[in-house]
Structure 1
Amino acid sequence: MSLRLAILCPGQGGQHAGMFDLPRTDPATAAALQQWLPEAAPGMPLEQVLADDALLFSNRLAQPLIVAATAAAWSALQPLLPAPALVAGYSIGELTAYHVAGAISAPQAIRLAASRAQLMDACLQAAAPQVLCAVSGLAVRTLNAMLAPRNLYLAIETDADSCIVGGLARDMDLAASEIERLGGKIRLLPVTVASHTPLMDGAVEPFLQQLRQRFSTDPQMPVLSGLSGQAVVKKEQAVSVLSRQLAQTIRWSDCMDACAEQGITAALELGPGAALSRMLQARHPQIACRSISEFRSLRGVAGWLQRL
C-alpha cells in the first residue's frame, strides 16, 4: 500500500517550554525563527514567555506562538518528508494548515494569528469571563439539547460522546451539576476565550477583511475545513471558512473521518502536543499516527515514515 500522508496542525492546550527545541536543530529553521518570533511575542524575550505559563497560555501570545512552533516544525521537516495528500488543523491550527499548504507564508500566518487573538480578546468583558470545557461521557446530542437554554454552546465536536463546550463561566458553573448528574465529566481548559461560539461574532467580519488582504494564492494541497471536514482548494473558500470558524462549531470528528475516507495511511502531528494524533489513532486505528513530540530527532520522524 502506498503512503498517503496527512499533516495535522494543533490548536491551543499543548504548548510547553520546549516546543521550539526540535525545529531549532535545523540551522535554517533556527535562523528563520529569529525573524518570526518577534512577531509572535513582540517586545518580550521568548524564554521569559516559555518559562511562565500565565504568559504561554494567554490567548494573545498562545495563538501566534503555536503557529510559529508548528510552522517551524514544518520548515525543518518538509525537505525530509513525502508530499502530504492533505492538511488538517484544529482551531488556530487551521490557520497554520494553510501555511503548510503553501497559501500563506509563515510570517503572514503568525501576524494573522496575532490579529485573530486580539480580535477575539476584544469580545471579552471583564465582568463576564468566558471558558472552554472538555465534556466527555455524555452523548453530544443529549448535551447539545441542554446547552441552548443555558446560553452555552458546542464549540468543538470530537466524538459522539466527547466535545468542547464554550460560554460564560457563570453559565457553565450553573450547568456543571446537571452535566455531571447525567454522567458527564467536565474539565476546564486553559483557554480564556469561548472560541467557536457566538460569543466571538464580533471578531468574524474584521478577521475576514484581514484574511482577504493576506491570501493571494490557492492552497497547493487540500486543507480540511474544520466546519465540515470538506476539502478546501480555493483561497476564497479558505478565507470564508477561517473567518466563520471563529464563531461556529468545529466538527473535528468529521475531519478525522475525512482522513479515513480519503485513504490516508499515516498522519503526522507537527506539535506542540500530541492530542490530534491520539484522537485520530483512537477513531481510525488503521491510520498510523504520531506526533513530532514523540521523537528525539528530525531524522527519526522521517525514518518512521520511511518504514511504513
Structure 2
Amino acid sequence: MGYALLFSGQGAQHRHMLSWVRRDRHVEQVENLLGADWRDRLDDPVWSGNNRHAQVLITGLAMAAFEQLVAEAGPPAVVAGYSVGELAAFCAAGVLDPDTVLALAVQRAACMDAAHAHLDTGLMGVSSARQGGLRGLCEAFDLDLAIRLGPESGVVGGPNGALVEAAACAEVQGMRVTRLNVALASHTRWMQQASVDFRSVLATHSLTNPRLPVISNAMGQIRDAAQALDALASQLSATVRWDECLDHIESRRVDAVLELGPGQALARMWSERFPDIPARSVDEFRSLPALVDWLTARLP
C-alpha cells in the first residue's frame, strides 16, 4: 500500500521542468555545475543532450523534488529509477549520500563519455514490433537491446550506421522508430568499460543498506549495499528491464504512482500496463500543494 515513485531518465528535459521546485541546496549545486541560466540553455538541444549536463540536471532536480515532496506527503512505499534515474532512486532509498550524489552523477557521465570517446554509437526507440521483432532486429544488425519496455517495444543501441540500416528495415516491417537525443549507446556492450570504471568510483563512496524498497533496472529488489554497488555499476552496460521493474512495483499493491522528473513517459507506460492504478507525472503540476492534494486523495 502507499505510493510508488518512478525517477525519470534523461531525454525529456525542458526549460519549464519541475517549475514548482524551490531553490534548495540541490538546485544550488546544479547551478554551480551548470550555471544559473540552465533553464534558458535547455532550449539548445545540443547543450541539453550533453551527457554530463543531462545527468547532473536530472539527478539534482529529482533530489530537490523528492525531499520537498516527502516533507509534505510522507515517504513512498517503493522507488525505482529509469536509467540515470537510478542515482536519485537509490539516494531516495538511503543507499547514497544526498549531499554527494551530484558528484556521482558527474563521475557517471564522465565514465560513459570516456568509454564512448572513440565510438560512433547511439540509441533508437522501437515500438509496434511483432513477437520476436526486437530480438530479430538486434541479431540482424548486431545491435543490443538497451531498454526493454515490453514484448513489442524497447530501445536498441549500437553503431550509428547500423542504427540507420535497422531503422529502414524496421519501418518496412511496420515498426515505429525514433532516434533518441543521447549521443552514446548506454546499457549496451559498448559501455562495458564505463561499468568497470564506475564500479571503481562507487567503491570510493560509502553506500548503505536501503531504508526503502528500491527496485533496480538490472537486479530486481536491492537488499544491501554490496548488491546496490553491483546494480549501479552493471546497469551502465546491461539491459534496463523496465517491464520487470514495473511488475515488481505492481506486486506491492501500491495505491498510486508518481513519475518524478521531466516529461510523462514513465507515467504513461505505467497507465498502459496497469490502468487501474492511477499515475501522474510531477511535471504536470504547477505547484506542490496541487501535487500533494492529488496524491493524498488516492491514498488510504
Shorter-chain TM-score: what band?
A: over 0.9
Cα deviation, residue 70, structure 1: 0.7
Please tell me the residue identity of whatever aligns with 1:4: G
Cα distance in 2 for partners of 1:40, 1:141 equals 43
Task: Show the counterpart of 1:17.
Answer: 15
Encode CA deviations 1:59-115: one digit per residue, 9 max, x unaligned: 121111110111111121111113211101000001110111122233322111111
CA distance in 2, matches of 1:176, 1:47: 33
Going from structure 1 to structure 2, the CA distance change for 1:47 and 1:285 (only over 3 Å counts) comes to: closer
In the alignment, structure 1 residue 32 sits paired with structure 2 residue 22: no
CA distance in 1, matches of 2:144, 2:46: 26
Q: CA RMSD in A?
A: 1.8
Between 65-74 and 147-156, the greater mean CA deviation after superposition: 147-156
Partner of 2:194: 203
Per the TM alignment, residue 140 of structure 1 is displaced from its structure 2 partner at its CA by 5.9
**What is the aligned counterpart of 1:276 among 254, 266, 287?**
266
Q: For residues 225 and 47 of structure 1, what CA distance do their matches in structure 2 show?
A: 30
Matching residue's letter, 2:295? L
Give the equivalent residue in structure 1 for 2:156.
165
Amino acid across the alignment from 1:215: S
Whether the aligned pair in 1 keeps the contact of 2:214 and 2:221 (CA below 8 Å) is yes
For residue 60 of structure 1, the aligned residue among 49, 52, 60 is: 52
Q: CA separation in 2, counterparts of 1:296 and 1:219? A: 31
**Residue 27 of structure 1 aligns with which residue?**
none
Q: Which stretch of structure 1 is more off in the superposition, 176-185 or 81-90?
A: 176-185
Q: Please say if residues 40 and 110 of structure 1, whose CA atoms lie closer than 8 Å, have aligned partners that are also in contact.
A: no
Code of the aligned partner of 2:262: P
In 1, the alpha carbon distance for the partners of 2:36 and 2:4 equals 34
Aligned partner of 1:104 in structure 2 is 96
1:214 aligns with one of 196, 202, 205: 205
**Which of the numbers 68, 71, 83 marks the counterpart of 1:91?**
83
Contact 1:132 1:189 in 2 (8 A): yes
**C-alpha contact 2:18 2:283 (8 A) present in aligned 1:** no
Residue aligned with 1:99, SS: helix
Gap change, CA 1:240 and 1:268, over 3 Å in 2: same
Which SS does the other structure have where 1:106 is aligned?
coil
User: Structure 1 residue 34: deviation in Å?
Assistant: 5.2
Secondary structure of the structure 1 residue equivalent to 2:280: strand
Q: Percent identity?
A: 35
Q: Report the TM-score when normalising by structure 1.
A: 0.91
Q: What TM-score do you get using the length of structure 2 for normalisation?
A: 0.93
> Which sections of structure 2, spanning at least 5 residues, go unmatched?
none
Question: Quick one: which amino acid aligns to residue 245 of structure 1?
Answer: Q
Specify the alignment match of 1:148 in structure 2: 139
User: What letter matches 2:127 in structure 1?
Assistant: S
CA distance in 2, matches of 1:92, 1:116: 9
Structure 1: tracts of 5 or more residues without a match: 25-29
Residue 221 of structure 1 deviates from its aligned partner by: 0.6
Give the number of aligned pairs.
Answer: 298
**SS in structure 1 opposite 2:167?**
helix
Distance 1:279 1:240 in 2: 27
Query: Does the 8 Å contact 2:145/2:155 carry over to 1?
Result: yes
Q: How many Å apart are 1:47 and its aligned residue?
A: 4.4
